[in-house]
Amino acid sequence: MQDALKGITILEVGVMTPGKFCGFLMTGWGARSIRIEREGFPDHITNEDLLLNRGKQSIVLNLRDAADRGTLLDLARDADVLIESYRPGVTTRLGIDYDTIRAINPGIIYCSLSGFGQSGEEAQRAAYDLIFQAESGLLHALNANITAVAGPQTYLTDATSGVMAAFAISAALQGRSGNDGAGRHIDLSMQETVFSLLSVSHGTMRDGVAISGDEAAARSQRAAFNIYGAGDGRAIALTAISESSCKALFRYFNREDLWQQGLVPGTEGREATAFLRQQFASQSAQFWVDALSALDIEIALVKTPTEAYDSPQLQGRNMILDTRDQAGQSLRQIGFPGTATGTRALEPAPEPGTHQTLLKKGLSNE
């Protein structure tokens, strides 16, 4: 995968985190991505940029200035992809909308990645990651008992929107090769992206009732498919949902009579759940992971993101990279999925404007 997009040039114009992540993935798969930074925003590398801008190039343009806008149009003539994350209407006011870019480059894949899309009554609404998780139903599906607790520590909408954009752009590039080289406009919203994640659990309603959602709610309460606290204050995730695993689990505790109850959805398995909760509280989380994994029972320690960096499997799959920043200081960073056999060497994330010489050389000469 590391060379799958070799020869593809991407312009990232006004993109926020989802667009950065899209460019990050496509850069890891061989594309060349050029960030068009705004003057003075930001004027330094953020912690997010250290990873998501790795391997990219950076120039600074004021798109309200006619000369700088002309520079962008010159770059767009030779680009394959343009990603923009402005609110609907902004690119038209700036003179960099799809119709303008298509007129000079008919093969351009132009991806508008916005909060609510280019159409609809909420298209101009401002929102951030947590709002999309909340209104889509995803936050409730992840924790149905959520009340006044701390919000998620990761930006799931941003991440999935970046993945969806990378997938849509790659599909459009494939379509372009079989469509006389014609490009297309991708209108993708963060709202629809995060809502689509519920397709695997809450994707169907009949007569106003979310039938698949009811099933998901019941399944999440099974004794053999749950999260339990251990005696050391850590948590374990148990997914012993096959008949053989569930039998082995309760056989280990000399209560094989409970195995069927362990698989019953809903509250009918309360006795089995209470029994397992009591057992798991008697030893450390790692004790249970070691003991039950040896019996081929599906169990895992609930890790922090920092702990996940030490995973031998992730390290063996080339997903943990030891790198350096632009100042030469060492970093450990998350790698690119689908590149288990190796990743091409990528330059550190650039300071804004590092590659301003592109304005003189042009894309075709780089």
Q: Is residue 318 part of a domain?
A: no
Q: What is the pLDDT of residue 209?
A: 81
Tell me the mean pLDDT in the region 50-77.
94
Residue-level pLDDT at 2: 72
Domain match, 295 and 254 both: yes
Q: For residue 18, say if its preceding peptide bond is cis, omega within 30 degrees of 0.
A: no
Task: Please report, for the domain that includes residue 95, its CATH number.
Answer: 3.40.50.10540
Instruction: Quick: pLDDT tens for 27-39.
Output: 999 999 999 998 8
Q: Which helix (H) or strand (E) holds 32?
A: strand 32-37
Total domain count, the chain = 2
Q: Is residue 162 part of a domain?
A: yes
Angle between helical axes of 129-136 and 156-177 (0-180°, round to 10): 90
- Mean pLDDT across the chain: 90
Confidence tier at 356 by pLDDT (50, 70, 90): confident
| 19 and 166 part of one domain | yes
Q: For residue 366, is it within any domain?
A: no
Q: Which helix (H) or strand (E) holds 238?
A: strand 235-239
- Same domain, yes or no, for 190 and 221? no
Residue type, position 311, single letter: S
Q: Which of 3, 81, 84, 33 is nearest to 349 (CA)?
A: 33
Instruction: Report how far residue 320's alpha carbon sits from residue 312's, in angstroms, rounded to the nearest whole number.
Output: 9
- Domain assignment present for 38: yes
- For residues 188 and 276, membership in a common domain is answered with no
Residue at 127 is within a domain: yes
Residue 301: name the closest of 210, 221, 310 by CA: 310
Of 289, 307, 325, which residue constitutes the final position of a domain? 307
pLDDT-based confidence at 208, cuts 50/70/90?
confident
Domain boundary among 288, 307, 326: 307
Does 326 fall in a domain?
no
pLDDT tens per residue across span 307-331: 999 999 999 999 999 999 988 999 9
Tell me what pLDDT residue 147 has. 57
Condensed to tens digits (0 to 9), the pLDDT of residues 142-157 reads: 876 555 566 788 999 9
Note whether 76 and 163 are same-domain residues.
yes
pLDDT above 80 for 299: yes
Inform me whether the pLDDT recorded for 305 exceeds 70.
yes
302 and 243 within one domain: yes
Check which CATH number belongs to the domain holding 255 and give it: 3.30.1540.10
pTM of this structure: 0.89
Provide the residue type at 117 as one letter: G
* Same domain (yes/no): 46, 14: yes
In this structure, are 189 and 287 located in the same domain?
no
Q: What is the pLDDT of residue 67?
A: 94
pLDDT value of residue 73: 96
Among the candidates 284, 307, 330, a domain finishes at: 307
Q: What's residue 340's pLDDT?
A: 81
Residues 133, 245 share a domain: no
Query: Hey, what are 151's tokens?
Result: 């919000």
Model confidence pLDDT, tens digit, residues 166-188: 999 999 999 998 778 889 999 99
Same domain, 154 and 233: no
Verify that 31 and 157 share a domain, yes or no: yes
Look at residue 207 and tell me if it is in a domain.
Answer: no
Position 31 scores a pLDDT of 96
Residues 233 and 284 in one domain: yes
Question: Tell me, what's the pLDDT at 68?
Answer: 94
Q: Which is more confidently placed, 345 or 322?
A: 322
Domain that holds residue 264: 217-307
Does any domain span residue 16?
Answer: yes
| Range scoring the smallest mean pLDDT among 16-25, 89-98, 102-111, 122-131 | 122-131
